[in-house]
Amino acid sequence: MDRTWITTKKLGDPEYEAGVMEFIKFALENNTEGRDKLPCPCYICQNLMYHKADVILNHLSKRQFDRTYTCWHRHGEKREETPSKDAQGHNTEGDRLEDMMSQFV
């Protein structure tokens, strides 16, 4: 799914508007628990405030979408990168440390 509109498009841009609609659709489709309110990803609420879908839509048509929120994990999207990063994190860190050390030797 194309999420470039979050970081590259501004309010009022047709691609931004289309992206917002896509987001709302995504959020509602993944609202399997039938929650009344969902986290709002506008740059002020930053998923910390919960609102009804129509309020979120309202926010996102007036405020910029949170540009760091490109993986919609708060709205039912699976974070595929996280487990592999955790599993390999220590190794990568270790390698990097060894690289750094070898520069000093």
Question: How far is 90 from 17, CA to CA, in rounded Å?
Answer: 41
CB 69 within 8 A of CB 47: yes
- CA quadruple 93, 97, 99, 100: dihedral sign: positive
CA 37 to chain centre: 18
Question: How far is 25 from 46, CA to CA, in rounded Å?
Answer: 18
38 vs 42 by CB, closer to Zn ion: 42
Q: Which of 40, 65, 69, 75 binds Zn ion (CB under 5 A)?
A: 40
Binding mask 42-81 toward Zn ion (x if CB under 5 A, else -) reads x--x-------------x----------------------
In the block, tokens 């007036």 appear at: 62
The minimum distance between CB 59 and Zn ion, in angstroms, equals 3
The minimum distance between CB 44 and Zn ion, in angstroms, equals 6
The minimum distance between CB 64 and Zn ion, in angstroms, equals 10
Question: Which residues bind to Zn ion, rule: CB under 5 A?
Answer: 40, 42, 45, 59
